[in-house]
Structure 1
Amino acid sequence: MKTANLAIVFTDIQGFTERTSRQTLEENQRLLRVHHELLTPVFKAFGGRIIKSIGDAFLVTFESPTQAVLSGMAIQDRLWQHNRSVLEAERLDVRVAINVGEVRVESNDVFGEPVNIASRVESIAEPGEVFFTEAVYLSMNKAEVPSQEVGSFELKGIPGKIRVFRVPRAPYRVEVPAVVHVAPGSAGPLPQEAPPFGNLALSRMPSSALVSGPDLAATAAALGSRAATVGGRLVERTRTALQSVKTVPRPSALAARKLAVGGGVLALVLGIGFVLRDSPAEDAIEAVAKASSTREKLELVQAAEKLISQEKAPGERAWLHGQLAEALEAPGQAVGFYRSGVKAGHGDSEDRLIELLEHPECRVRVNAADALGDLKLASARGELEDLAEDGGPGEDSGLFGCDSRKAAKKALERLGR
């Protein structure tokens, strides 16, 4: 029998069981898929080993309790960013609980009282929080992870009381540049806020570890804390970048759609709006797309966000935020912004949302189809019928697969085929 001293992490989605009773099977599968895409890269980036994933729950082990707590903080900050860019029904509120101790390691599972205690702590943890036991508190590096005692609890099946701690909310040591965001369905920008744990952990992750997830705006938020140059130097760099770009007039919506289809494999062409511009905000968005380094890109994002926030028309503002999301290679998030633009009567947002039905990423096509179905856009009928019949790259109808054909059929049902 093999034993090891490991940190045990349990996570689950708040209210998942109740949600499954009022959502379709496809909606539940999509929720779990997004949940896995968001959390898995974070666990791996901090050295976690995913032991099992059952429905909405993860069981993960770490050799370092400090890394385990940091992973929990990174998860909550990433989910905070994700939740700001999706509809209320698509929010993910997760509980994180951590314990450490000697466990039995058998095949692909772990057993023992430390596992049971971690599970019990999860049952009292609050969504959006990172709870951990006194054993973790005593063994972790306190210089890296802030902590605050919650109290002592009697846990079912566990003798004695267990002292429980949590990671307090920021600010503590981290200063994060505030960025204005527009929430899908809202009339304007949200107040400037910082994520719950100040990106203290998320900023340590390499950008490549976040690029595979569905919400790449989290990458910008995470790495934003690394951007050292703001104010006058930022404005000057933005101006220099813009001077190298030749402005061309924005074409008609139909011409833009044809151009998007013709250059489907190129991210910059797929963005359309940030290669065809007629406003300072669109110039700034193109500068973001053309940035040669992550640091430069993130600095330019702040300038673009500022210009977008000055746009008075809600529809145009939502459109520009969608274009910026695409410039950051986050088309999934862009869908939510275009949806807001359509609700505000913005024609370009409607056209772009329809164009995204031909996106090479299956998940983007599914999101676009869902949005068009919810909006009941009759103008999308032809493209939805094509997608329902032909599908696209990356189709997989398995449990955690992606099926844009089915999403298109469902959207057509909402349109009243």
Structure 2
Amino acid sequence: MKTANLAIAFTDIQGFTERTSRQTLEENQRLLKVHHDLLTPIFKAFGGRIIKSIGDAFLVTFESPTQAVLSGMAIQDRLWQYNRSAQEAERLDVRVAINVGEVRVESNDVFGEPVNIASRVESIAEAGEVYFTEAVYLAMNKAEVPSHEVGAFELKGIPGKIRVFRVPRAPYRVEVPSVVHVSPGAESPVSNEQPPFGNLALSRFSGSSLAQGPDFAATAAALGSRAASVGGQLVERTRTIIQSVKAAPRFPLASRKLMVGGGVLALVLGMGFVLRDSAAENAIDDVADASSKEEKLKLAVEARKLIDAEKAPGEKAWLHGQLAEALEAPNQAVGHYRSGVKAGHGDSKDRLIELLEHPDCRVRVTAAEELGDLKVASARGELEDLAEDGGPGEEPGALFFGCDSRKAAKKALDRLGH
């Protein structure tokens, strides 16, 4: 079992489920693409590794808690810039939550209580804010990141209370002028013409200042360019380490890459091990990042060859499911994850449960049916939530083409029994 001490960041869009019910599928896809194009370069520029993206949510890991918080600040400032020129229906109000701790690393995913805590903190975070736990506060560089305690919270499923902090709004001041009547620990008033965190993090990257205007594509390009530059500077400093890693016979080198800014994290040093992506996983990432359908299909051919070389049936099924999702075919992915679960693959089971929250009703229905058929007891809580709350795109009682994931969840629960 591999473990690592990582900062875990969760982000999601405020009110996304409600908005989905008012949008066409095309409008929803455009919104998610803008969201992806805005956030992804920032995560990577600050050294983040995107573990998964589910609808409007990201799960990202960082080796540095300071960089994790800075990335959250950069995201909020960048979205402030974007929202200034966006129409109301296209605005993106995102919340960010971060925790740090030792997690279990398996097949390009992370598990453990630190992940659960980060997810729970996200549920209490407010849109436009960056929340983080006391663990992050104690581990981060406080000279780089200002902080303000929110309070101690009892979080569902987490023993004891968790102290939560947030990044205060700019301007950052040690003392509040006496002429302004603000209670101790409160923040100074912020003009609507100033980004919420004063570009403190975003300004580290050339080309990302407010003078660039609302062109988020240009900002993303600038961030990627700057990240590559920063990565280049790191190469010389890490050359000796990489040479020694290459010399270590216990770590194969077929797909090893050092993350430099916008690259993919495939090498983690420390704790006495190296974490890397497989060649198949890298190929799947390439498919997901492709800009056109034609390019995706072309890259998928090579990805399938690499996946088919995998000998473990459960891992092979998981990888085929990941590829299907990269090709935007989540219902096909469900079938592959079913095969993975039957082969005893834990990640396939976890992903099948996660798909109960998919924005497409039919994907939720299929996932619920498979979980019920497979009698996955660990899905009971999520199935109960779906049975009670449903999700976007519900059409209960509609003839022929209606979709009712609530009903599917209830049937799955009946299969599980009491």
TM-score (norm 2): 0.47
TM-score (norm 1): 0.47
